[in-house]
Structure formats: structure tokens, C-alpha cells
Structure 1
Amino acid sequence: MPKSPKPASVPPGELPPVMKFSNDEVNGIILKNVETIIGNTNYTQEKAQTWAKDILAACLDQLQKLTKPYKYIVNCSIIQKDSGGLYNASSCYWDNTRDNMCTVRWDNRFLHCIVTVYGIAVN
């Protein structure tokens, strides 16, 4: 009977590839939720507050369902399009081999939405 190949060993302190933070996966979660919740709706301050809460809740729910060993921090900014500018920056001190982040900027005709997910490994 042929032997099955041994799984590749993972160096100490690193996560197996299937358990790592995937920017593509997180990007998809963010985009799906922003497009579903905001769509092509016009900006109003009242709606923006509700949208942000809904986007945060939906993203956190779907991130937890990935069952990966991470604590997640999600930030959402919704800004009306006008002539004003916006600069957004963040910085973290963490383990570069295990922790990660993903930022998505999404726009429609009326607003900008910026969502950042930080994934902090817990093991």
C-alpha cells in the first residue's frame, strides 16, 4: 500500500497556510458587505452611522465564521464625496509572520467607504 505524503512541517511560531490571514479572503468579505449594505445609495449622516454599524457587524460575523486563530479589529469610515480631502493612516507593532491587515477603499457616486480589518494571531 503506498504511503501518503507527510504534511509539510510548519516552523515553530508560524501558522499552517490554511490558517493564515488571507488578504484575498478578507478583501472579499469587506467588498461583499459594503456593496450589499451601501450599494448606490446617496449619502446622509443618519444612514452613514447605520451603515457603519451594519458593515462592522457583518464583517465581524463572517470573519469569525472562518474559524481561524485570530482576534479581529474592524474599522469603518464613511465620508461624503465633496471637494474636501481625506488622509487615513495606521500603524501597528506586531508579529509580522502571523499578524496582518487588509484595507479596502470602496466608492460610489456619493461617498467613500474605507474598511480596515486587523487580524491578530492568538496562538
Structure 2
Amino acid sequence: MDHSRKLGDVKLSQVTFRATIRDRDTAKAKDSAGTKGMPVKPQQSDTKQPTSSISLKGLLTAQRITRELKNRAALRRKTRVRAQQRKAVTIINEQVPASSANPKQKFPYAQAKELIDEFLASRLRDVTYDPDTCASLTKDLCEEAKRIVRRLTPPRYKLICNMAIGSKHREDVTVTSQCLWDSHSDNVTSCSYENRTLFCVVLVYAVYFE
């Protein structure tokens, strides 16, 4: 009986001791909070938080970006080395043969094409194809086209105008030309126009005459 009473006293004393220590700590916290006017923050433990692990997808993405940057840098280095090793190119002007003409001012075929295109559009916009009248119309348009181009043709150039007008509804027509001339001085301009009923193809040759 005495032995059990002793055990009970020890157990009771342990419980009373723990309660007393807890009450003492709580009283100290209240006293410090009242004196400073600030709430008591719980003490942080010294244990470190576990770091977040790197995902496999992010690692592969970083490796791919690094590999692309290395490839770009290597390509820039190769391009720089090739540019340094490239030899200078010397441009040699085309030599005109002694048998060819060398006019000071050549025929402006691009400007002549613009003038003829505007001329055909203004004259053939409302014209309907008629085989009886197209023969005389072609001759008149050729003369007018030569007069227009003559305004900007340099001296000592002869003009040859070739024009074809045909029906648009029956069949397709391909107009080709071939001539022998001096490529250093002679030139040609070609224009075409079509409306609902007809097509027109014009070739103007500019031949230099010495």
C-alpha cells in the first residue's frame, strides 16, 4: 500500500511540475508583451526549410537554350572568319569591241514602255474588235507610237514599230520576234494591252545609225 502511494505521489508531482513550468512561461510572455506593447512572436526554429527540387523539364529546357546559344556563337565566328578570308573582288567594266558602236546616250527603253502603255490604254479602252477596221487602225497606231517614242529617243537612232491586233475570243496568239543587232547600242521595248474583245502587242526597235 505504501509503495503504491509513493508511485501516485511521484506521478502527481510530475504533473504538477510541468503545469507549473508552463504557467510560468505563459506569465513571462504576458509580462513582456505588456511592457513593450507588442505581441510576442514565436521563436523561430533553427531547422532549415527543404529547398525546392529542380524539375527534369526545366533542366532539359536550360540545356537546349545553352546548346542553341553555343551554335549561334559558333556560326557567327565562322561567318567572321570567312569574311576575313574572302578576297577582294575587282569589278571590270565591260569592254566594247572596236567593231561595235558606243553611243554616249543609249535608248531609254523603260521610259518608252511607260509611254506606250499609257497610249494603248487611252486609245483602245473602248474599241471593239472589227477585222475590217483593225488593219487601218494598226497602221495609224504604229505611226502615233513612233511619234511618242521619238520625243525621248537620243540622236542617230532609227525606230521600227511592229504592232499586231487580234480577236480575243477565238484563239490564243503568241507573238515572238528575232533580229540581228548590236547589243552594245541597239535595244527594244515591248508592250501589250487587251480589253473585252481584242488584244494588241507592240514592239518598238531602236537601232543606232553611225
TM-score by length of 2: 0.48
| Aligned equivalent of 2:119, options 30, 33, 41 | 33
Which amino acid counterpart does residue 31 of structure 1 have in structure 2?
D
Cα shift readout 1:77-107 (whole Å, capped 9, x = no counterpart)? 0011123121221111110011011111111
- CA distance in structure 1 between the partners assigned to 2:140 and 2:117 by the alignment: 13
Match of 2:110 in 1: 24
| Aligned equivalent of 1:78, options 165, 178, 186 | 165
- Is 1:44 aligned to 2:130, yes or no? yes
Q: Percentage identity across aligned positions?
A: 24
TM-score by length of 1: 0.79
Larger Rg: 2
> In the comparison of the two structures, how many residue pairs are matched?
111
Match of 1:15 in 2: 103
Match of 2:20 in 1: none
- CA distance in structure 1 between the partners assigned to 2:157 and 2:111 by the alignment: 14
Unaligned runs of 5+ in 2: 1-95
Which amino acid counterpart does residue 177 of structure 2 have in structure 1?
S
Unaligned runs of 5+ in 1: 1-10
RMSD, matched Cα = 1.8
Higher strand share: 1
SS in 1 for 2:120: helix
Higher helix share: 2
SS in 1 for 2:193: strand
Cα shift readout 1:29-88 (whole Å, capped 9, x = no counterpart)? 221221222113211123312321221111111222325121110011001112312122
- Is 1:107 aligned to 2:181, yes or no? no
Worse-superposed segment, 71-80 or 33-42: 33-42
Match of 1:121 in 2: 208
Moved over 6 A (4+): none
